[in-house]
Amino acid sequence: MSIKEFLIGSPIESIKEKHERLTKTLGLAVFSSDALSSVAYGTEEIMIALLAGGAALLHLTMPIAITIVALVTIVATSYFQTIHAYPSGGGAYIVAKDNLGAYPGLVAGAALLVDYVLTVTVSISAGVAAITSAFPALAEHAIALCLFAIFAIMIVNLRGVRESGKVVSFPVYAFVGGLSLLIAAGLFKWVAIPGPGMHKEVASAASGALPLFIILRAFASGCATLTGIEAISNGVRAFKEPEAKNAASTLALMAVILGALTLGIAFLAQGFHILPKENETVLSQLARAVFHTGPIYYLIQFSTALILILAANTSFADFPRLSSIMAADRYLPRQLSNRGDRLVFSNGILILGIVSAVPIIIFGGNTNALIPLYAVGVFTAFTLSQAGMVKHWYRLRGEGWVKSIIINSVGTIATFVVFLIIAVTKFMHGAWIVVLAIPGLVLLTRKIHSHYLDVAKELSLETGVKEAEYSHHTVIIPLSGVHRAVLKAVKYGKALSDDVKAVYVVLDMNEAKKLEEKWKEFGMGVPLILLHSPYRSVSGPLMDYIESVQAEYPAGVITVILPEFVPLKWWHHLLHNQTALLIKGKLLFKKGVVSTSVPLRLQR
C-alpha cells in the first residue's frame, strides 16, 4: 500500500459518484459546521467591541444579537430561493454572473474564495483557543496545533465527501446538543436562583457619536455569525436526489438552529454578567457559571473545540467546488476542475490547506486579530447574490415574481448596509487587506481567462494557418559518458534522421580524451563534437551550439535526445545529477527545438 492510498484510501469509480452524495443529516454537518460554530465566538466578539465604550454598553449585547438573527432570517430566506432557482450550485458566483455580468460574478466568486480561506484560519484559531482555555499549558503551542488541525482536515476531505461527513457529524451534533443543554440549564438557573439583573444602561456612557460607532463595530463583529450561510447553495449537487429540495430543507434547519443558539448564548452572557477575558472564552465562562467544572463543562468545551476546528470543513467542501466551477469557465487554472481518486476536487483542497496556513502564521493564531478580516468578503457575495436574484425574478416574471423580488430586494439592501458597516468599522483593523485582496483576485482571474482565450485562438484549426514543412532535421545527443543508455539513444536518433551529432561539454580534458577513444569504438559512425566550457557550465555551451545549428538551418527542426537511466528506487534519484531535467526545462522555451528522453530502466 502506498502512502497516498494509506492516507486517503483506494480510488473510487466515477460511476459511483451518486453513492457518495450526502443525506440531509450529513449535509447539515458538512455545510453548516461553519455557520453553527460561529455561535461559539459571535457573542464574545460583540461584547469585546462594546467594552471599548465601557461596561455600560454591554446591555446592548442582546439587541444586537436579535438584529443579527433577523439578518440571518433574511439571508437564509433569500438563499432558499436561490437554491430552487439555481439547483446546479455555484451560489453567488453563478447568480451574479448569470444576471449581472462577468465582472460582478468574478467579484462574488473572489469574495467567497477569500472568505473560505479566512473561515479556515478563524475557525481553526478559535478551536485551538477553546482547547487552550481548558488547558492553558498548551497556549504556547497554539500555532503548531493550528497547522496540525489544518493538515488533519485536509486529509479527511481528500478521502471524499461522504467520509468527511461521517467525521464531522458527531462533533456538530454534540455541539448543538451541548449548547442546547447549556441554554436550557442556564435559563432554569437564571430564573430559579435570584441574582443581579441584566447589564443596565448608563445614559452618560451611551450618548454621542463615539458609542454609536462602537455599537456599529460590535454589530459588524457579530455578523461573523452569518459566514457559512451561503455554503449550502454552493454545494447543492453534493446532496442526494432531489438535490434542491434536500439542500433547501437543510438550509432552513440550519437557520433555525443558528438563530436559537445565538439568542440563547447572548441572553445568558448578559444574564450571568459574563465579561470577555484574554485567557478564557465567554462560552467557557458561561459553561463554568452553569455547570462549574464538572464533566458537562468539559463535554461542552471539547465539542466546542471540535466543531470550531471542523468548521473549516465547510470551506474544504465549498472552496474546491466553487473553484472547479470557475475553472470550468476558464477563470481559474483548469487543474482545479479535475476530480481526484476519491471523486473530490483534490487540487482545490490542497491549495486551500496551504493558503489558509499563511494568515495563521502571520497573526500567530490569534482569533481576535483574524476576526476583523472576516465577513467583508461574504457580505460582498451576499449583496451581489441578492441583487442578481432581483434581476433574475424581474427577467423571468413567473408565478410569485413580485413577492420574490421584494424578498431579495430587502436582502440586497440589508446585506449592502451591513457590508458598508463592516468595511468602515473594520477597515483600519485589517479589513483593508480583504478589500484589496478581492480586486486583486478578480484581476488575476481576468488574466487567466484572457490567457485561455489566447491559447484557444492560437490552437484553433479554423484560422486557416498552414504549418510550413521542415527543410532539415538535425538530431543532437548530449553525452555525459559512453554507456548503454547512450547507445540506445544513438540508435533511436539514427532512426529519426541522417544528420545525427553527439555533443560532449568538456569540463576535464583527460576525461574528454578517454571519451573520444571510447566513442571511436561504440559511436556507430555518429560524429562527436566537443564543446569547451571555461566556466564549468553544461547547459550554456549546449544552448549556444543549438543556436548555431538553428542559424545554419533556419527552416529546419532540431531534436535533442537525452539519454537517461531510471533508478529502481525513488531515493536513488537523489544520488544522481538532474542535468537532463535542467536541459529539458530550457529547451521547452526554444522555438524549433524538440526534446525527448530515451530511458534505460535499471534493475537494481
- C-alpha cell read off for 136: 492553558
Most confident among 189-193, 275-279, 287-291, 442-446 (mean pLDDT): 442-446
The pLDDT, as a whole number, for residue 596 is: 93
CATH 3.40.50 domain extents, the chain = 473-601
Average pLDDT over residues 479-506: 93
| 249 in Cβ contact with 101 (< 8 Å) | no
Of residues 463 and 408, more confidently modeled: 408
- The domain 21-452 belongs to what CATH superfamily? Amino acid/polyamine transporter I (1.20.1740.10)
A 10 A CB-CB count for 31 gives 31
Of residues 466 and 283, more confidently modeled: 283
Of residues 317 and 1, more confidently modeled: 317
Residue 321 amino acid letter: R
The pLDDT, as a whole number, for residue 404 is: 87
Distance from C-alpha of 39 to C-alpha of 178, rounded to nearest angstrom: 12
Distance from C-alpha of 536 to C-alpha of 372, rounded to nearest angstrom: 54
The pLDDT, as a whole number, for residue 528 is: 94
Of residues 433 and 80, more confidently modeled: 80
What is the per-residue DSSP string for 319-339?
A: HHHHHHHHHHTTSS-GGGG--
Q: Is the pLDDT of residue 386 over 80?
A: yes
| Residue among 237, 239, 167 at smallest CA distance from 22 | 239
Query: Poorest-confidence range of 467-476, 490-499, 506-515?
Result: 467-476
Distance from C-alpha of 238 to C-alpha of 313, rounded to nearest angstrom: 14
Average pLDDT over residues 218-238: 83
| 164 in Cβ contact with 313 (< 8 Å) | yes
Of residues 280 and 489, more confidently modeled: 489
Q: Is the pLDDT of residue 210 over 70?
A: no
The pLDDT, as a whole number, for residue 374 is: 65
Of residues 397 and 13, more confidently modeled: 397
| 64 in Cβ contact with 215 (< 8 Å) | yes
The pLDDT confidence band at residue 206, using thresholds 50, 70 and 90, is very low
Q: Is the pLDDT of residue 459 over 50?
A: yes
The pLDDT, as a whole number, for residue 205 is: 41
Distance of CA 215 to the CA centre of its chain: 32
Which fold would CATH assign to domain 473-601? Rossmann fold (3.40.50)
The pLDDT, as a whole number, for residue 69 is: 93
The pLDDT confidence band at residue 475, using thresholds 50, 70 and 90, is very high
Q: Please measure the distance between the N-terminal and C-terminal CA atoms of the chain and give it in whole angstroms.
A: 21
- C-alpha cell read off for 327: 475553472
For residue 529, list its beta bridge partners: 503
pLDDT tens digits along 527-549: 999 999 888 888 889 999 999 99
The pLDDT, as a whole number, for residue 329 is: 92
Q: Is the pLDDT of residue 465 over 70?
A: no
The pLDDT confidence band at residue 199, using thresholds 50, 70 and 90, is very low
Query: Poorest-confidence range of 70-84, 179-193, 222-236, 476-490?
Result: 222-236
Report the SS3 class of residue 449.
helix
Q: Is the pLDDT of residue 12 over 80?
A: no
Distance from C-alpha of 570 to C-alpha of 572, rounded to nearest angstrom: 5
Average pLDDT over residues 218-240: 83
| 478 in Cβ contact with 558 (< 8 Å) | no
Q: Is the pLDDT of residue 203 over 60?
A: no
pLDDT over 70, % of the chain = 93
E strands in 473-527: 473-479, 499-506
Average pLDDT over residues 81-87: 86
The pLDDT confidence band at residue 372, using thresholds 50, 70 and 90, is low
The pLDDT, as a whole number, for residue 163 is: 80
Query: Poorest-confidence range of 157-161, 323-327, 493-497?
Result: 157-161
CATH 1.20.1740.10 domain extents, the chain = 21-452
The pLDDT, as a whole number, for residue 296 is: 87
pLDDT over 90, % of the chain = 33
For residue 564, list its beta bridge partners: 599
E strands in 452-495: 473-479
Q: Is the pLDDT of residue 196 over 60?
A: no
Distance from C-alpha of 596 to C-alpha of 560, rounded to nearest angstrom: 6
The rounded mean pLDDT for the chain is 85
Q: Is the pLDDT of residue 562 over 90?
A: yes
Q: Is the pLDDT of residue 6 over 80?
A: no
The pLDDT, as a whole number, for residue 102 is: 92
Average pLDDT over residues 124-144: 80
Task: Please state at what angle helix 243-271 crosses helix 282-291, rounded to 10 degrees.
Answer: 70
